[in-house]
Structures are given as structure tokens and as C-alpha cells.
Structure 1
């Protein structure tokens, strides 16, 4: 098969499912993984797809396009693990916590096993699945109803109605994009409405997002930057973004990526920080 024909087939698979793995492409095309990796490298340089660990995903080109869960789950995995581990340390035993849909919040769910007596309200089928699998008698999971999104979230009037009847200590939210002017955004109008209901129901808004979300603007705003109590991100966020966020967000926590195969140690959760108002840290580097 000619290289152009092979790459056209790869692109077709990416557009069909939102993402592909090298191992699957070698089976489909009958070539070596080295050949596939070279194809993906070339196509990524042309802007036709985005390379991720073990494969590739579709490139997000429009503010109203929402990638599927499978496509997003392979992106920035090390950053998501570090962010999720740090965000979990903000959760205390006995809390009622809301968790929105997304791959970073899904990663977070796996880090909540050691926290006792939790009540978790979520509109994420994936998050609920992880929490139910823990089989804990001291863990209460409230799953909202609603219309299913490509990210396996439940949104719309039913979800909003359920969320508005509740009051939680904290909402931990993943977002499609964060921008200096647009704030927190999503390409899904119903998801924006649902997430706004989560914000209104919580005493504290914690946003978890890796550095690639900065400058991305979806179709609909969830909340302005000023509404964010704490942002947990990774240490690859650029200096301009950090300056903007320091001015607009209550607290910005940056964490280093977790090396593959190495757990996130407790010592890495200890911070040194630059002080903010009233003795509270405005910006922490972990």
C-alpha cells in the first residue's frame, strides 16, 4: 500500500472514532509499528491529527466541536495524573463533593479511594463507574440523569433540576478551555448550563485542567475566571497564563508531571509558595 493511501486510511479511522492506537493501525494496515509511527509524525507536522502516547487523536478545529471521551483520554496522561492526585488532596473526609464529566475528573475519581465518608454528586457516567467499583459502604454516589454527551456526561434540564436541589462543599470541574477573556468554556451548550448549576450549588469551585486547555475557547461560557476558587494545573503552563491567573483566580496550584510507572509521592504534595492576600497562597509550585 502506498504511503498516501495508508495515511488517508489512518485519517479516516481518526475521524471515524476520534482517536486511534498504533497497535490497532498495524493490524488494520498490515505494516510495522515503526511505519505507523512515522506516518503519524508526518501527519501531525501537517496538522492533520494530534500525536498522543500510543496513537493519535483528531485535531480540535472548531469551538462547537466536542471530542469523544476515548479521543481525550489518551492526551496529556502524565499531567492529568499529577493534577488529579493534587486535587484529591483538597478533599476532606465527610465532604459532599460534586465532580463534573471529563477525562481529568475521571482520573481524579481513582484517587478518592482513601478519603473516608464521602458523598459524591456527579453527572459523569465514567466517574460514577469508577466510584461504584470501589464497593465502599462509606461512599455515597449521586448520579444525575440527563442527556448523554460525547464525553459521557449527563446534561440538560433533568440534570440541572437535580443539581439545583443540592448543596455541596466543593465542585471539582474539568473544562474544555480556559481563556483570559472567555473564562471557562465548553463546546456543548447543555453542558455549559449543567456546569453552571454545579457552580451555583457549591461553596468552592476547583478547576482541574492541564496546560493545553489555556487559550482554548469553546462555544459557551461556564463561568468567568473570577469565579474560580482554586485552579490545579501542571507546571508547563506558560508565564503569561500564570500571571493572568494569579490576578484573576483565588489560588493557582501547579504540579509537575508524574513519571510513567512512578506513583505520586506524599512529599510532592507539600508546597513551597508565594504568599497571597491574608497570608493565603495565591500561587503554589508543587
Structure 2
């Protein structure tokens, strides 16, 4: 394969998925790590992608750039479904649950609608809409007030005050990025404060994040990697990164995106 053809394949993948990992490109294209890194360097110099730790993302992905809900809803859908299915095993009837905004937590909320006797506290307009469309007498849904972000999350002092008034058994957090040094991050400063209130209000803190979030940075840290009691991600994450995360989080659950039952791999 010519270098131009290889770089076209790389661009097609980053545009399809939003992000690529060096290790995955090495396996898929059958070339060396150094060859892929040179390709990424050329494409980055051309402005066609942006290099991050371990891979690359779409250009313009600045630390304060916040994609809208619709823009994110078509990315990594298979991974989100597998992550949501695995996360559902952590839930029991009678629990009070916190759900942050985001497309991964929205995917998870679709499954929660079938769980009896739960209370869901969320700052996500989209999550609240899911439950309102299928109301059940044994489910209570609390939508915080606040200012709406591009990701359809309600943030700010009204949201924080509401969250601080409750006690949650589990809090499920969707994130913009995760990094070993900077932790779980968001491009929205006010949303970070709201998410931190969720973490503080919960007995256990669960992060739902597909592999493309690793190495991506938002401007504000919600919590350090070590703060997560459970991190649910997918098998697209390279083994070296899984090993690093296992040393830091309470429990790492890795699921196969091609599996329909969300079983750990």
C-alpha cells in the first residue's frame, strides 16, 4: 500500500470514529508503529487531524470545544451499547442513581427504563425525556434545573444545589476525555463543577467511556482517575492502557463492542 493510500485510510477512520489509536492502525494496516506515527505527523502538519497521546482525533478538537448531543450521537454506537449493557449489571431495584449528560449515559438510560423501583437524578434533558416517554409508577425521575449546554446537560448553581440535596447509591458519569495525569475531563468549566457535585453525592462513582476518550483532554478535570470506583470501557482500548488503568481505578470492566450481552473480555 502506498503512503498516500494508507493516509487516506487513516483519515477515513478518524472521520468515521472521531479518533484513532496508533496500536489499532498498526494492526489494521499491517505496518510498523513508526510508520503510523510518521503518517499522523504528516496529516497533522496538513491540518487534517490532531495528534493526541497514543493516536489522533479530528482537527479543531480543542480543550474547550464542546460537540453538541446530535454530533456525538452517531459515534461509537456499538461500543456505547456494550458499555451500557455491562453497566446495567451494577444496578439493583431500590437504588438511587445519578446520570450525567452525554450520549453514553443516554444509551445506558434506555436500558434503565426496564429496571423496577429506581430513582434517577439527572441533569440531562435527553435522559429525562426518555423516562417521560415511558412513565412507570415505580420509577422516580428528578431533573435538576440549570443552564443548558450544547450537550443538553443542565449546569450551574441551580443544578449543583439540587444535586447536593440528594444521596445517591451509584453515579454514572459520561466524559469528554480521560487521561492518566489529568483524569476525567470536560470542555465545559461549569459542567465540571456540576459533575463534581454528582461524584460527591454518590457512594460509588462509575465512569462510562469508550476507548476513543483515552488521551483526550478537556479544559477542566472532573475527578482524578483514582477516584473512579468502576470504569467501563471497550476492547478497542490497547492492553497497555488497560494495564495502566487497572492500577488506578477500583475496577476496570472491558467489554467487546461486537458482543450483544455486554460480557467483560
TM-score band, normalised by shorter chain = 0.7 to 0.9
Partner of 1:199: 199
How far is 1:59 from its partner?
A: 4.2
Give per-residue Cα distances to partners, 1:236-276, cap 9 Å, x unaligned. 101221111111000000011146xxxx23xx53xxxxxxx
Task: Tell me if the contact between 1:184 and 1:225 (Cα under 8 Å) persists in the aligned partners.
Answer: yes
Please give the alpha-carbon distance, in whole angstroms, between the structure 2 residues aligned to 1:78 and 1:109: 15
- 1:184 corresponds to: 184
Higher relative contact order (CA 8 A, sep 6+): 2
Determine the structure 1 residue equivalent to 2:24. Answer: none
Deviation at 1:223, TM superposition (A): 0.3
C-alpha change, 1:134 and 1:60, in structure 2 (3 Å) is farther
Please state how far the C-alpha of 1:133 moved relative to its aligned partner. 1.3
Structure 2: which 5+ runs fail to align? 1-17, 19-42, 51-56
CA drift at 1:93: 0.5
After superposition, where does 1:121-160 map in structure 2 within 5 Å? Answer: 121-160=121-160
**Contact residue 58 and residue 71 of structure 1 kept, 8 A:** no
* CA distance in structure 1 between the aligned counterparts of 2:185 and 2:49, rounded to whole angstroms: 23
- Mapped partners of 1:156, 1:144: distance in 2: 10
Deviation at 1:119, TM superposition (A): 0.1
The 1-side partners of 2:47 and 2:128 are apart by 35
Say if 1:81 and 1:258, in contact at 8 Å, map to a contact too: no
The alpha carbon displacement at 1:166 in A equals 0.7
Give the paired residue count.
Answer: 217
Structure 1 residue 49: Cα displacement: 7.7
Deviates more, 1:131-140 or 1:167-176: 131-140
Structure 2 equivalent of residue 253 of structure 1: 253
Question: Where does 1:46-195 land on structure 2 (aligned, <5 Å)?
Answer: 48=48, 59-195=59-195
Structure 2 Cα separation of the partners of residues 59 and 85 of structure 1 = 31
Judge conservation of contact 1:60–1:67 (CA < 8 Å) in 2: no
Listed as ranges, the gaps of 5+ residues in structure 1 are: 1-18, 20-43, 51-56, 270-284
The structure-2 alpha-carbon separation of the partners of 1:82 and 1:47, relative to structure 1 and needing over 3 Å to count, comes to farther
Distance 1:90 1:115, change over 3 A: same
Per-residue deviation, residues 36-62 of structure 1 (Å, max 9, x unmatched)? xxxxxxxx9976489xxxxxx974521
Normalised to the residue count of structure 2, the TM-score between the two structures is 0.78
User: CA distance change for structure 1 residues 128 and 49 in 2, over 3 Å: closer, same or farther?
Assistant: farther
Q: Provide the rounded CA distance (Å) in 1 between the counterparts of 2:140 and 2:59.
A: 37
Aligned partner of 1:6 in structure 2 is none
Q: What is the alpha-carbon root mean square deviation over aligned residues?
A: 2.1
